[in-house]
Structures are given as structure tokens and as C-alpha cells.
Amino acid sequence: MKAKAQKEAEANQRLNSAQIDLKLAVLNFTAEQEGLRDEYERKKQMVIGQIRESQKEIENQESDRSLEDRRAACESLANAVNALLQRKESKSNAHTNRKSGL
């Protein structure tokens, strides 16, 4: 009987030790999981910030390109108007020269 009680006591002690080890493992896992979650959130926010900055840069580049396109269109329009004015002046001068007999 005594040997059986001793074996039972040893088994209970091993079981208690294993339960303590399991509880410690769960606590360590939980702490590490929280640390990883915090690191993930920190990195996620950094990436979101980088994405926002990249989007702003893209928008600025697109508006810069749009500005260049508008500038080129205005320049072309100004050249066309100047050419038209020169043709009108040439015709007007030719017409005036014919009237004056030149």
C-alpha cells in the first residue's frame, strides 16, 4: 500500500509540475503574442504612412504633368493666335498697298 501511495504522490507531483510548466508556457506565449501584435501594428502604421506619402507624391506628379500639359496647350494656342494675327496683318497690308497703288 505504501508503494502505491508513493507512486500516486509522485504522479500527482509530476502532474502539478506539468500544469505549472503549461501555465508558464501559456503566459510566455501570450506575452510574446502581444509583443508581436504591437510590432505588427507599429509596422502597419509605418507602411500606411508610407503609402499615404507615396499617394501624395503621385498626386503631385500627376498635377505637375497636368500643369505642363496645360502650359503646352496655352503656348500652342498663343502661337496659333499670333500666326492668325500675322496673316490678317499681311492681308491687311497687302490690301492697303493695292489701294494706295504700291
Q: How confident is the model at residue 74 (pLDDT cuts 50, 70, 90)?
A: very high
> Which amino acid does the sequence have at 12?
N
How far CA 9 is from CA of 4, 20, 66, in Å, comes to: 9, 16, 84
Cα separation of 81 and 83, whole Å?
A: 5
Average pLDDT, the chain: 89
Question: pLDDT over 90 for what percent of the chain?
Answer: 65
pLDDT at 102 over 60: no
pTM given for the model? 0.49
